[in-house]
Structure 1
Amino acid sequence: MRGIQLQLSQTQKVRLQKALEQLESLSSKVNSDASVTIADSIPVNHEDGVLKGHGTTDLNGEVVATLCGVVERVNKLVYVRSLRSRYKPEVGDIVIGRVVEVAQKRWRLDINYSQNAYLMLSAMNMPDGVQRRRTALDELNMRCIFEEMDVICAEVRGFQHDGLHLQARSQKYGKLSTGQLLTVPPYLVKRQKQHFHHLEQYGIDLIIGCNGFIWVGEHVEARDDMVEDQVNQTDPQVLIPNKDSVSFEEQEKNYTALETRKYICRAANAVRVLSSLGFIITLEIIKGVFELSLSSNLDIHDMLGSEFCVLVAEKEAERRSSNKKKR
């Protein structure tokens, strides 16, 4: 059950075990030939000059798996893709990170990787929207754009000599506010065409980061309002006002309705349940758990209870079974 700490009754244990066995049987039929465990022999044609890749070794003239996973073949290369692994960045990945340091002309971010990533001042759109060279004043005002502990959405630009670099050259990237940041195992998030989702019916945004960070927050239109208009000032002697001194009108503008906050918490709990059960996290499955909690008239805090987790596993087994019959 991948670390679920729930007080299950005997009936709930039987129901959950039955649902997980059904899910395992459905998945094993799909990947029965490709799945291997440690010390399993991988059938290959040695006459083709096979290249042994990651997760394989040569033992007594046979190619043997050293990992539990799925066998992948690329031309002559044979390797094993692990089912559970840490996040490995690829160019173009949508990631969510938290600022840990404001350095010279760059921000250092924690993106759930073995090392921190860098977002250069020159690799993002300025709040005024003008394409121009970055000046010394821009560098002085970096902390007014992003500061420590801010949550940022960006895209993987690539590896350079000093580490992993990100870029945020689009209005859909930038600072995230008014929401919850969730952390799930990265192997539960699959790369898809779309990682930005707007649940229009509930007025919330869902960003599923490839690095295992998921953001659930209030819907905002795509715009760059990360800093105040003071950044447009050209006089270096003009001081930026204190960000803590917010007027009543600005507080009222940034207020999130109670109903929206409830939807944010409900969607966040849906992600937590799926992560605890070890299910692949996609928009379709999250919406299914979300609507299941609404149809069951469950309170938000009751979604993390044992009965609802068992119910989610049963519904997921039914959904996959029905999808297979349609095929």
Structure 2
Amino acid sequence: MRELRDLQLPLNQTQKIRLRRALQQLQDLASKASSSASVTVADTIPVNHEDGVLKGHGTSELDGEVVATLCGVVERVNKLVYVRALRARYKPETGDIIVGRVTEVAQKRWRLEINFSQDAILMLSSMNLPDGIQRRRTAVDELNMRSIFEESDVICAEVRGFQHDGSLHLQARSQKYGKLERGQLLTVPPYLVKRRKQHFHHVEKFAVDLILGCNGFIWVGEHVEARDNMVEDQDNKSEQQNSKLNTRSLRLEEQESTYTPVETRQSICRIANAVRVLSSLGFSLNVEVIMGTVEQSISLNLDIHEMLGAEFCVQIAEREVERRSSLTKKRR
């Protein structure tokens, strides 16, 4: 659980006591809910040596006993015993949804920063082209790479896996992947984002897209409809038939497309601040907890900047204690 000294909040004495009590209660609830034992460095891990125990990551043998070499939770898979670190760095797995930022446009590839020990690579052949047609990439496509993605662009993609040369490769062969615009990119510790079936969330109430990247990069931006290729083809035919009218409408659409409504901007900032508060407290991030924090800020009539204040942070911690306590009672 996050210590008070890590929060960097101007807490008064009463708020410190309330927050410390809430964090302690959350720690107690977590220890009761977890059947696995928590260990620190040099703690002995009880095992049955007669079963032929396999010592995994975070364990070592000392004087005939299995001891932990890092802080975390003891996990057991058949005969394998290992320690899962609570605050580990991001370790890519095939199929992970990630958000990254382009750092270099190279030959037939883009290089991305994804909060990992090395940059990831997105090949030109591993993504959909803007025209949506499945075909071989040509020299013209390679020359037009900067018209697709350029340095500092934020991209959503999927982890394809490690190649034989040790490099991490991505793919973006779906309408839901690609360039992200009109929003905020947030960076949180990767261990706060658990792998789930769904990492793309459309918050219809606020017309906002929320993407929880497994690598700790979170995107909060204006909602964008993913257009189907068949629909685009029909639109192109109708545009050719009504060229003059469509020229005027396209100009209006271009003007509208460069403008994000004020209400949507405020919603993006409010959701982003909710993520910042939860991250500062060390809470796991999912769409339910994030939107619950947003709703509470609205019910308290808080301005967006007031969400980053000490009092609201303490209230969120106390609210989380009530939520987890109620869940514990329901299980019983």
- Whether TM exceeds 0.5 here: the answer is yes
- Indicate whether 1:68 and 2:75 are aligned: no
- Indicate whether 1:173 and 2:189 are aligned: no
CA contact (8 A) 1:174 1:224 kept: no
Q: Whose helix fraction is larger, Structure 1's or Structure 2's?
A: 2
Q: Counterparts of 1:28-39 in structure 2 under 5 Å?
A: 28-31=31-34, 33-39=36-42
Of 207, 225, 231 in structure 1, the residue corresponding to residue 211 of structure 2 is 207
CA contact (8 A) 2:273 2:304 kept: yes
Following the alignment from structure 2 to structure 1, what is the Cα–Cα distance between the partners of residues 159 and 313? 34
Unaligned runs of 5+ in 2: 230-249
Letter paired with 1:158: G
- Indicate whether 1:43 and 2:46 are aligned: yes
What is the percent sequence identity of the aligned residues? Answer: 75
Following the alignment from structure 2 to structure 1, what is the Cα–Cα distance between the partners of residues 210 and 270? 12
Q: Which residue of 2 aligns with 1:310?
A: 314
SS of the residue 1:21 aligns to: helix
Following the alignment from structure 2 to structure 1, what is the Cα–Cα distance between the partners of residues 145 and 252? 26
Unaligned runs of 5+ in 1: 226-245
Residues 78 and 5 of structure 1: CA distance in aligned 2, closer, same or farther (over 3 Å): same
Cα offset, 1:5, TM superposition: 0.9
Letter paired with 1:258: V
Letter paired with 2:30: S
Equivalent residues, number = 308
Cα offset, 1:252, TM superposition: 2.4
The alignment's C-alpha RMSD in Å is 1.6
Following the alignment from structure 1 to structure 2, what is the Cα–Cα distance between the partners of residues 120 and 32? 43
CA contact (8 A) 1:106 1:119 kept: yes
Following the alignment from structure 1 to structure 2, what is the Cα–Cα distance between the partners of residues 49 and 322? 41
Q: Which residue of 2 aligns with 1:184?
A: 188
Q: Counterparts of 1:264-279 in structure 2 under 5 Å?
A: 264-279=268-283
Q: Which residue of 2 aligns with 1:20?
A: 23
Following the alignment from structure 1 to structure 2, what is the Cα–Cα distance between the partners of residues 251 and 224? 23
SS of the residue 1:133 aligns to: coil
Q: Following TM superposition, where does structure 1 have runs of at least 4 consecutive aligned residues deviating by more than 4 angstroms?
A: 246-249
Q: Counterparts of 1:1-327 in structure 2 under 5 Å?
A: 1-2=2-3, 3-31=6-34, 33-162=36-165, 163-223=167-227, 249-327=253-331
Following the alignment from structure 1 to structure 2, what is the Cα–Cα distance between the partners of residues 93 and 33? 26
CA contact (8 A) 1:180 1:264 kept: yes
Cα offset, 1:48, TM superposition: 1.4
Q: Which residue of 1 aligns with 2:247?
A: none
Residues 72 and 32 of structure 1: CA distance in aligned 2, closer, same or farther (over 3 Å): closer
